[in-house]
Amino acid sequence: MKRLWIFSLGFLILSAGCIDLEEKIVIRKDGSGYYESRQVLSKELTSMIQKGLQGPSSKSDFITSLRELERNFQGPGVKIVRSSFDVVEERFVGEYCIEFSDASAFFQAPGMRKRFLFYKEGDQLVLTSVLKKGMQGGASAPPTRVQASSPGEEGQEVDMKEMQSALRESMRAFFKDFRISLTVELPTEILDTNATEVMGNRAVWTIDEKTFEDMEKMTALGDRFWVRCSLKGLEFVPPEKGALPMAALPAPRRQAGFAKPSPSSASPRPSPPPREVILDPKEAVRGGKCVVVLKNGNQIRASSFYREGDKLILRMMGGSISIPISNIDSIRTRR
């Protein structure tokens, strides 16, 4: 199944309105380079992190102060050369530039290792984003039409083109004034990437309102971005993938039910993990996150669902759709 790809950034809060984020990473043949970032947040997000601008760091992954910037970008040969954090017309604007003399060391800085993996694989240099749990979404490209469950059932067809069109309109409205752009310049010509634009040794990923006008491009994007170039001609040696420290990999999340043990008490038993439940669509009434399996094999992910007569209403990113119960094979959820 294809999935809708969104940059694997922990701070992506889609429900908070307008976000304009632009990043650029440049790596030279000797391993030096620089990283630039400019972020403009909506009034809603600015209000959410306002306390973090004036006091201790908030839990937001947005870098909103010089103190946070210094804590996230520290390491040998890493230098902050420019930074600015301000609120303009009730919107937070943050800009900074960081130079580095050793790309391998730079990508081990706290602010980068939780987002990027930088290593060599065979005769290629690889830069890829870290896939974060919970950042997956989207649905497989739908067929033209889903047939009714049995002959003679009229009015029970789902025109998937109409559903796709409605979803596209919802996304266009949802992503209005929304833009994320990442540019990566590697030391040699790019060999392989899933960037939205490639020019020699430069790759550009862009997600904005225009991106979502092309449904096929949207569903073709993967779970993460990647870009590769040749090691030939480089004056430095990137680390082997197997030699990356554990800190460079996504840290396991604490499971619900685990409590921090105290010296005077035994470790509590963890609550059992949620089990998958397959519901009969005729018996389904209301529920949370689920995967709806249609009778033609197509699958649709939804954040929640509820039954309304002979139809199932699926809430999805940017809106909702309705599907006749007769066209649904099963509903997979977790309890």
pLDDT digits (tens, 9 = 90+) for 246-260: 544 444 444 444 344
Which residues, given as ranges, of the chain have pLDDT below 70? 1-17, 51-61, 131-177, 211-223, 243-274, 317-319
312: CATH: 2.30.30
**Rounded CA separation 79/187 (Å):** 20
| Domain enclosing residue 289, as ranges | 274-334
Are 127 and 22 in a shared domain?
yes
Are 227 and 87 in a shared domain?
yes
Are 91 and 208 in a shared domain?
yes
Are 285 and 213 in a shared domain?
no
pTM of the model: 0.59
Residue 323 within a domain: yes
The residue assigned the tokens 């970032």 is 37
Residue 209 within a domain: yes
Are 220 and 92 in a shared domain?
yes
Residue 256 within a domain: no
Are 290 and 169 in a shared domain?
no
Residue 205 within a domain: yes
Are 71 and 179 in a shared domain?
yes
Residue 101 within a domain: yes
Total domains in the fold of the chain: 2
Opening angle at CA 254, ends 249 and 260, nearest 5: 125
**Rounded CA separation 185/187 (Å):** 7
Residue 59 within a domain: yes
Residue 188 within a domain: yes
Are 240 and 311 in a shared domain?
no
Are 192 and 235 in a shared domain?
yes
Are 77 and 113 in a shared domain?
yes
How much is the pLDDT for 44?
A: 77
**pLDDT tens across 212-230, in order?**
655 555 544 555 788 999 9
How much is the pLDDT for 186?
A: 96
Residue 266 within a domain: no
Are 131 and 46 in a shared domain?
yes
Are 202 and 328 in a shared domain?
no
